[in-house]
Amino acid sequence: MNPGDAIFVAGHRGMVGSALVRLLRARGFDHLLLRTRAELDLCDPAAVRAFYAKEKPAYVFVAAARVGGIWANATQPVEFLSENLRIQLNLIDGAYEAGVTKLLFLGSSCIYPKLAPQPLHEDALLTGSLEPTNEPYALAKICGVRLCQAYAKQYGARFISAMPTNLYGPEDNFDLELAHVLPSLIHKFHLAKTRGDASVTLWGTGSPYREFLHVDDLAEACLFLMEKYESPELINVGCGHDLRIRELAELVRQTVGFGGSIAWDSTRPDGTPRKLLDISRLAALGWKPRIKLEEGLRSTYAWWLNHDSGVRSI
């Protein structure tokens, strides 16, 4: 990649897209193609085709998607399946038609079967049933991976797919109804601290294990892969270790400075029991993350406090 190359970051105002933009700018890439949803609806095939034809990006990062937690997936399965399929199809088909040099598609660790052996190796894809609570999103992402592989196999396109673990950091969604677990914990503990509550009640039992990666590390990995990875085989991006949700809750409680106790509502779903990625494929290429969870939690909480409580709707 050269500094003047036209690079389209689809979804540049999202958590991943904005981290990519920060990193690309810091590395001297100054021809970034950025469009808000109002300027370019990625669900609109004609608009995406016209954009590609006019702007002719050399590189495309597919960081646009409808993203959300268990509640959002359960209540909006149509949007999670339909919008994600359409966004991917328009961006990937369009990239091939427009002769894009290389495209990186972002999937997610939830594409792997619910009960696949841990840590989750890339070869576990499509070896079992998905976790029902996020099936619409996962199905769409699997189609995106397979479409990139099909373009690589049939037409030799340099379309690659990265599967990030759970991400957190600046520009995350802190909306209590829509957020993923980590920003939701930050929000809940912050509210409890502000109100002087004695206790915070959290969903589930706290026993599932989850892995978390700071979004700035993910952006570094995406750029690394765009520059160095040529295989159509999907590749996991994680930090390589996990912790129980209850351990995470305790870390967030301390980070936020909430002095009360934590109660668990076990009538609420836990989701997948464990979701740790096998990152040996990425590690073998020489990449590793640099931001520790404690440090990332501190900076993310500070970011949220400075950004109008960070609540946005999707």
Just list the catalytic residues. Answer: 137
- Distances 294 to 120, 172, 216, 307 between C-alpha atoms, Å: 24, 17, 15, 20
Least separation in angstroms between residue 180's CB and ligand NAP is 5
CB-wise, 135 or 192, nearer to ligand NAP? 135
- Candidates 1-9, 70-78, 162-170, 249-257; binding stretch for ligand NAP (CB under 6 A): 162-170
128 near 142, Cβ under 8 Å?
Answer: no
Among 11, 119, 204, 206, binds ligand NAP (CB under 6 A): 11
By CB under 6 A, is residue 279 in contact with ligand NAP? Answer: no
40: DSSP letter: -
By CB under 6 A, is residue 42 in contact with ligand NAP? Answer: yes
CB-wise, 163 or 192, nearer to ligand NAP? 163
Among 41, 197, 233, 270, binds ligand NAP (CB under 6 A): 41
Residue 113 burial (CB < 10 Å; 0-12/13-18/19+)? middle
Strands annotated E in the chain:
7-10, 32-33, 59-62, 102-106, 159-164, 166-168, 199-203, 209-210, 212-214, 235-237, 243-244, 261-265, 274-275
By CB under 6 A, is residue 70 in contact with ligand NAP? Answer: no
By CB under 6 A, is residue 106 in contact with ligand NAP? Answer: yes
Candidates 183, 186, 180, 179; CA nearest to 200 is 186
Would you tell me how many other CB atoms lie within 10 Å of the CB of residue 286?
Answer: 8
Of the chain, the end-to-end C-alpha distance in Å amounts to 32
String marking each residue 81-100 x if it binds ligand NAP according to CB under 6 A: ------x-------------
Among 92, 95, 102, 108, binds ligand NAP (CB under 6 A): 108
281 near 236, Cβ under 8 Å?
Answer: yes
Among 7, 9, 24, 63, binds ligand NAP (CB under 6 A): 63
Among 16, 72, 89, 200, binds ligand NAP (CB under 6 A): 16
By CB under 6 A, is residue 180 in contact with ligand NAP? Answer: yes
By CB under 6 A, is residue 271 in contact with ligand NAP? Answer: no
By CB under 6 A, is residue 253 in contact with ligand NAP? Answer: no
Among 24, 138, 167, 235, binds ligand NAP (CB under 6 A): 167
Q: Give how many residues touch ligand NAP by CB under 6 A.
A: 25
Least separation in angstroms between residue 105's CB and ligand NAP is 8
The DSSP annotation for 230-267 comes to --SS-EEE--S--EEHHHHHHHHHHHHT--SEEEEETT
Would you tell me how many other CB atoms lie within 10 Å of the CB of residue 156?
Answer: 9
Residues binding ligand NAP (CB under 6 A)? 11, 13-17, 36-37, 41-43, 63-67, 87, 106, 108, 164, 166-167, 173, 180, 314
